[in-house]
Amino acid sequence: MLSYQHGYHAGNPADIHKHFTLWAVTRRLQQKPAAIHFFDTHAGRGWYDLHGPQAQKNGEFREGVERLLSHRDALEHSPIAELWQSFFGVLDAAHGHPVAAETLQFYPGSPAWVSALRREQDRHTVFELHPTELSELNAVGETRTGRVIYGDGLKGVVQQLPPQTPRLVILIDPAYENKEEYGAVAETVAKALKRCRHAVILVWYPLLPARRHEAMLADMQQGSIPCLRSEFVYKPEGAVRGMYGSGMLIFNPPWQLDSQLRQAFLPVQDLYSLADGKAPQNALHHVDWLVSDT
């Protein structure tokens, strides 16, 4: 039975890490006109009201999108300014006006981030299995979600490959509610790359004290397709029981994504290292090659 609902976590630091990486990859790929089919295996509800009861329960967004917005000016003048400006532009559009930490209310889910960039020639398919999340997602509307399919995204995406478009991006973002999911993700990536060697695949994973992601990464390391790893540690490991950070794998990453992510997260890392009371210490962003591109 599915119990996870992303509304409790929307806009947290892990979401920022995931959505900014997705944003950076998509922007890079769209520098060329060839059509892209975007797949999102675990869509969630697509759109989040941060004033609603789920987001308010633990207020995780305060350490994520709200903190970022309170340093918006610094990020928009950082070395990778244009990318941050366009990222914040999506939040502005979500509110219908330039948004600040004090006026923040809405946060887009992964289907909406991609929809903000989807071009006429691109295709977009998202999967969701939780009945409540599915009906919310359908209510958001196809313009902001892409085509919604009710079903298992891991099996579903493989069945859809290869797409008709020359290029494809797959986001795999499960809740990892049970440890079998790590193996299922590794298996799905292997199957997808077997069908489409050129697929750009993004996999999100949590950094938890049990370090369950390590076996998944060791498995994926056996492959031959270049894979970049970006990890963002935003709480001191050992000081918390739950998640202390998040990871993103990017198979077949666009050229220079590694240096772009390093530059983009340098000022973010500083925000999380500030000794300002509630801020977690020792935040660290790290990029390396899980599977080398040479």
Annotated binding-site residues read: 19, 42, 110, 128, 152-153, 173
Q: At its nearest, how many Å lie between ligand SAM and the CB of residue 157?
A: 9
Contacts with 198 (C-beta within 8 Å, 6 or more apart), sequence order: 167, 168, 252
Q: Which of 63, 128, 136, 231 binds ligand SAM (CB under 6 A)?
A: 128
Nearer to ligand SAM, 78 or 174 (CB): 174
- The rounded distance, in Å, linking the Cα atoms of 221 and 239 is 29
φ/ψ (deg, to 5) at 127: -115, 145
Piece of 31-39, 54-62, 126-134, 191-199 that binds ligand SAM (CB under 6 A): 126-134
Among 35, 116, 175, 208, binds ligand SAM (CB under 6 A): 175
**Nearest distance, CB of residue 6 and ligand SAM, angstroms:** 4
Cis (ω within 30 of 0) for the bond into 162? yes
Residue 109 binds ligand SAM (CB under 6 A): yes
Which residues define the annotated binding site for S-adenosyl-L-methionine? 19, 42, 110, 128, 152-153, 173
**Least CB distance to ligand SAM at residue 187 (A):** 13
Binding to ligand SAM in span 155-174, by CB under 6 A = 173-174
| Secondary structure string (H, E, C) spanning 129-192 | CCHHHHHHHHHHCHHHHCEEEECCHHHHHHHCCCCCCCEEEEEECCCCCCCHHHHHHHHHHHHH
State yes or no: residue 130 binds ligand SAM (CB under 6 A): yes
Task: Write down the catalytic residue from 92, 173, 258, 276.
Answer: 173
The 10 Å Cβ neighbour count of residue 135 is 12
136 binds ligand SAM (CB under 6 A): no
Cα separation, 198 vs 192, whole angstroms = 10
Contact call for residue 208 and ligand SAM (CB under 6 A): no
Residue nearest ligand SAM (C-beta atom): 109
Measured CA to CA in angstroms, residue 145 lies from 27, 45, 154 at distances of: 18, 9, 18
Tell me whether residue 173 is one of the annotated catalytic residues: yes
Residue 154 is a binding residue for ligand SAM (CB under 6 A) = yes
Of 123, 167, 181, 140, give the one whose Cα is nearest residue 43.
Answer: 140
* Contacts with 278 (C-beta within 8 Å, 6 or more apart), sequence order: 63
Residue 14: count other Cβ atoms within 10 Å of its Cβ.
Answer: 24
Q: What angle do CA 237, 243, 187 make, to 5 degrees?
A: 115
- Residue 207: CB minimum distance to ligand SAM, A: 15
153 lies in the binding site for ligand SAM (CB under 6 A): yes
Residue numbers at the binding site for ligand SAM (CB under 6 A): 2, 4, 6, 18, 41-44, 109-110, 127-130, 133, 152-154, 173-175
Q: Which residues are catalytic?
A: 173
